[in-house]
Structure formats: C-alpha cells, structure tokens
Structure 1
Amino acid sequence: MRHLIKEWKRITGEIKDGYLYLFLDFDGTLAPIRKHPREVKLGRGIYNVLKKLAGADNVSVAIISGRKLSEVKRIAGLKGIMYVGNHGLEAAGPGMDFKLPSAIKAQKTISVLRRKLRERLRCFKGVLVEDKGLTLSVHYRMADKKNWEKIARICMTAAEPYRKQRKIRITAGKKVWEIRPPAAWDKGRMAEKLLNRKKRELKRKVIPFCMGDDRTDEDVFRRFKNTGYTVKITKKNREASMADYYLRNVREVSFFLREIYSLRRRA
C-alpha cells in the first residue's frame, strides 16, 4: 500500500473535476477506538470538516459503521449525510430509509443468541454482549487476555447450530465477534447501492473514495478495487489488504478530509 498523503498531488489531478462519494468507517477511522464502545466520540476537528463537506459541491458523504444506525447517527450528529449501520444492513439519509428484509427476518434468532451468550459469558469480566437490533456483537477487548480463547469457544459453540442451519453467519473484527443475518450483504454491497443511486440521480460519473480500518471494510475495498480509491487506516503499510493506499491514524484522516474540502472549495 502507498501512503495517501505522499500520493495526494497526483491524485488531486485525477479527481479535481469529478464528483466524489466518500465512504467512511467510523470507529478507528473517524474516531479513535476505545476500550468501551460508549467511550468513542467524534473529535471537534473531524466534525467540523465533515459538516463543511456535507454542504460542499461535487461531494457526498456516507458514514458506514458496524454500530446500529441510531447510535452512529447520535454520536456523529451531522445532517445532510448518509448513515449506514450494522455493516450495511440498514441506512438512512437524504431520500433513503432502508433495512434489508432478510435481516429483519433473522431478528428472532439474534435475540435468542443474545440471551444465551449473556448467560454463558456473564462470568467473564470485561465482556460486552451488545444487542444492535439486526446484529449482535461480543466485545472482549476489556477481558483478561488469558480468557480470549475460551470466550471465542463459547461464542462458537452457542452460534454454530444456527450457522449450520444458515440462520446466521459469524464474522470477526477487532476484538469483537459479530453475529449477523445469513444474507450475502455487507458494507461493500451497501456502498455500491449508494454509489449507483447517486450516479442515476446525477447522470454522471461518481468516484468512490473509501476509508476504513477493520476487516469488514475490506468488503468495500474489494468492491471498488479498480473503480475508486481505497484507503486502509493502519500503521503497517505491508498489512494484507485489498486497499491501494493507507493512512496511519485518525489524525491523518482529519488532514486528508481537510484537503478534500479545500479541493472542493477551489473547484
């Protein structure tokens, strides 16, 4: 992966006259990851530049998060942008209110697993079983490391019968297990849906610019590998990823967003 800031001058020439659609992950991209999800906040600097971008010409903004939709909307607190929650299963914004039908059907199974996992994991200090409506997340970042393997085994044992029946699927993130509906739907599919919608609306080319730090963001990178700009947030430029570029941290993301706004202001 190449460092985005070092390549910025060249990229500017490629995108300066185009319409950009920014697809931005939240935790670890727009805001630093914290031990507890409730501790995460959007910094004032990034909030201000996103607010400016939301009102700028030739650019659209979508925050695509694993959090439930209502939560990411509350934390970000921005108007005029698209919000996507639960890894693409739900979305809301200008002219859109979306929930994947098959995800709604899976809610009963998700609810059953929530009760089972809370019962079986309550003896482990630092484990959070988070009910996100359409999905379930088991966070173990704050648990004792010596218990991580045991926690994973309990999660898999509880979820496996439902996975075999194709009622759910299980994915891994950064110190989190995700239990999701079985549909072949993800952040990448949702981002593509939004991009195509914008293309039809504008009747012109729209360039996707995608940023994220987690495994689920690889679905977005894979979707736009040859048609847009894909940026992994990581300190390891040799990390295996479908992204073409990288930024090291949230501070560099903030710098990049300011550069995008400056470019659009001059256009």
Structure 2
Amino acid sequence: MSKYLFDNLSYLKTFKNDSSTAIVTDIDGTISEIAPTPDEAVVTESMQNALVKLNDKFQLVAVISGRSVLNARAMVGVEGLLYVGNHGMEFLKNGHLSMDPLVEKYLPQIQKSGQKLKKGDLSHINGLMFEDKGICYSIHYRLSNSPENVREKILNTLQNDPECKNLKISEGRRLVELKPPVNCDKGTILNNIMDQYNLKKIIYLGDDITDSDAFNKLKELENEGKIEGAGILVRSSEIPSYVKKHSSFFVNDVDEVLKFFQWLLN
C-alpha cells in the first residue's frame, strides 16, 4: 500500500538533489483541480511558476494527458515542456507536433461513432457532455443526475454498437472514451520517454485509472534496475481502490502536489 508522501520525503532526497531527474505528471486532478467541465479547469499561476522552475532545475518535465495535446499545452501554458496528449498518441515539444502513425486510419470511424452517439443513442440523457478530441472521443457524465446508472448505459451502448466493435473503450474519472485500438497507455509512454531521453530517475504523478499503467511500469522498470522511480497518487473518492495500491506514495489534493514541487525546488 502506498505511503503518505510528506511522512516519507527522505526517500525522495536523491531525486531532489539530482538534476537528471525527470518529472512526469498528469494534468486534471493532479496539477489542476477537477472541474464540472474540462473547459472550466485551470492550472494556477503558482503551479505554472513551479513547473517553469522545475523545468529549469531538472532534465525533463513532461505533461501526459487524455486531453488533446494542443489543449493540454494551452491549459498548462508553460513553454519548453514535453506535452503528450490523447493518452500518448500525440506529442508536442518545442513547437513540433507529431502523431502516432497507427491511429490515423481510425480517425474517421471515431468521428462517425461519436457523432452518432451524440445525436442519437445517448442524446436523451441529461447532463452528458460530448468531447471530440480529434484522436479520441470522450463522453463525460459528471453532471448527470445518477452517474453510476448513466455510466452503465454509456458502456452498454458502446459495447452493443457494431461501429464501436473494433475501437477501444476505456474509462477515466466520470468519463467513458472511444480510442483507436493501438497499444498505447501511460505505461508505454513512460517507457518511450525513458528511452528517448535516457532517464535514470523518474517521479510520476497522477490521479486516475489510466495512471495505474504508469505506476505499474515505473515499478517494473525499477525492479529491472533500469531506473529509480517514485509514483505519487493524488487521492480522490472517485477512483477504484486498486489504483491506490499501485503507487509508492500518495498526497491528498492538488495543493499538496504544489507543496511537493516547492519542496523539490528548495
């Protein structure tokens, strides 16, 4: 079971004092508060300033998000970071945008399926928000009257729709998502970033189901002796208990993430 980070900061001193450390973080629920809709979420000026200083101090600061990469970049608003969007299917670094070549052929189908769901099969449910992210298509049910019942309806609709059969259906905090069926998650992204930047020390921060892939990969790489890793979970009541088991440490909220960043910088 993960330990409370601020009772165990001594374990992270080697990361703090080594400029080759990499900080890899999720956005929503980790460096920004969860908001009723994605457009309402913000990264505060204090958090932005901390990210700028972390990027100056350490080898790499990377932001991995389920948002589109351009939306992630606009939201965080810090130059010089590595931005990874749509769960690792697109990258933005120093103005250069690239997409996983395997996803392109699925884009028309995802667009078509998303529009069909929005206009027909799920249009009668109050409180749903449909988000076209280019590569992926999200259905947010946070604002619905009975979130758990609505979640079941969305999943059943997608699983019974023949057009969604060869697409990937995944879940996050109060959302269900259609994705291209490629082998791409936050664990594979972490592995790729490690190889590309020759990283030896990685701190990963996240708050959601999708972050458990990164926490597991971090432990796997550490067990293989490839890196020193620290997985930090931002706890919430909205995620399953198994996610809490996969991280090394936990904090209670976004404010404590900022407090940790400030500790790294002092």
Name the structure 1 match of 2:242.
240
User: In the TM superposition, what is the alpha-carbon distance from 1:13 to its structure 2 partner?
Assistant: 3.8
SS in 1 for 2:142: coil
Q: TM-score, normalised by structure 2?
A: 0.88
Equivalent of residue 214 in structure 2, options 220, 224, 242: 220
SS in 2 for 1:138: strand
Name the structure 1 match of 2:232.
231
The percent identity for this pair of structures is: 27
Name the structure 1 match of 2:172.
173
User: In the TM superposition, what is the alpha-carbon distance from 1:235 to its structure 2 partner?
Assistant: 5.0
Residues 75/13 of structure 1: CA separation in 2 closer, same or farther (3 Å cut): closer
Whole-Å Cα distance in 1 between the matches of residues 30 and 71 of structure 2?
16
Q: TM-score, normalised by structure 1?
A: 0.88
**What's the C-alpha RMSD, in Å, of the aligned pairs?**
2.0
Name the structure 2 match of 1:209.
203
Whether contact under 8 Å (1:55, 1:80) holds in the other structure is no
Whether contact under 8 Å (2:130, 2:139) holds in the other structure is yes
User: In the TM superposition, what is the alpha-carbon distance from 1:150 to its structure 2 partner?
Assistant: 4.5
Whole-Å Cα distance in 1 between the matches of residues 123 and 148 of structure 2?
14
Equivalent of residue 263 in structure 2, options 243, 254, 259: 259
Aligned AA for 2:33? Answer: P
Whether contact under 8 Å (1:54, 1:79) holds in the other structure is no
Whether contact under 8 Å (1:198, 1:206) holds in the other structure is no
Whether contact under 8 Å (1:235, 1:247) holds in the other structure is no
Name the structure 1 match of 2:30.
29
Name the structure 1 match of 2:181.
182
User: In the TM superposition, what is the alpha-carbon distance from 1:17 to its structure 2 partner?
Assistant: 3.1
Whole-Å Cα distance in 2 between the matches of residues 22 and 14 of structure 1?
10
Whole-Å Cα distance in 2 between the matches of residues 63 and 137 of structure 1?
19
User: In the TM superposition, what is the alpha-carbon distance from 1:175 to its structure 2 partner?
Assistant: 0.7
Name the structure 2 match of 1:70.
70
Q: Would you identify which runs of 4 or more consecutive aligned residues in structure 1 move more than 3 Å? A: 94-97
> In the alignment, does 2:194 pair up with 1:195?
yes
Name the structure 1 match of 2:253.
249
Whether contact under 8 Å (1:173, 1:214) holds in the other structure is yes
Residues 150/210 of structure 1: CA separation in 2 closer, same or farther (3 Å cut): closer
Structure 1, unmatched stretches of 5+, are 200-204, 263-267
Residues 134/14 of structure 1: CA separation in 2 closer, same or farther (3 Å cut): closer
User: In the TM superposition, what is the alpha-carbon distance from 1:183 to its structure 2 partner?
Assistant: 0.6
Name the structure 2 match of 1:42.
43
Structure 2, unmatched stretches of 5+, are none
Q: How many residues are paired up?
A: 252
SS in 2 for 1:215: coil
User: In the TM superposition, what is the alpha-carbon distance from 1:144 to its structure 2 partner?
Assistant: 0.9
SS in 2 for 1:55: helix
User: In the TM superposition, what is the alpha-carbon distance from 1:98 to its structure 2 partner?
Assistant: 2.4
Whether contact under 8 Å (1:117, 1:155) holds in the other structure is no
Whether contact under 8 Å (1:25, 1:65) holds in the other structure is yes
Show CA shifts across 1:202-226 (max 9, x none): xxx5211100000011111111113
Whole-Å Cα distance in 1 between the matches of residues 151 and 233 of structure 2?
28
Whole-Å Cα distance in 2 between the matches of residues 188 and 45 of structure 1?
28
Whole-Å Cα distance in 2 between the matches of residues 224 and 151 of structure 1?
30
